[in-house]
Amino acid sequence: MNADKIAKNARLIWNMLTQTATRMTFIDLIVQSHLQANELASAIGWLAREDSISIIEEGDKQFFVAY
């Protein structure tokens, strides 16, 4: 997977999070995006590095929210 593919996936995830205006779990994002786990993890890493998402931990769950 190259940087262009990761950036494309990151845009997809960011758009999903901003359009729904809600927090989503990793599984929610996989189901709705149809990405593979490694593709989603890379996209989340990209967005986190850009400081475009927040990762909220509640108990044993993680939620992702776009800024």
Which CATH number belongs to the domain containing residue 62 in this structure? 1.10.10.10
Contact residues for 26 (Cβ-Cβ < 8 A; gap 6+): 37, 40, 44, 62, 64
**pLDDT at site 22:** 85
Tokens 């996209």 identify what position? 43
**pLDDT at site 1:** 84
Which domain range does residue 44 map to?
3-66
State the pTM of this model: 0.91
Q: What sign for the dihedral angle of Cα 26, 64, 43, 60? A: negative
Q: Model confidence over 4-57: pLDDT tens digits?
A: 999 999 999 999 999 987 899 999 999 999 999 999 999 999 999 999 999 999
28-31's contacts with Cβ under 8 Å and 24+ in sequence apart are 29/64
Q: Could you give the number of structural domains in the chain?
A: 1
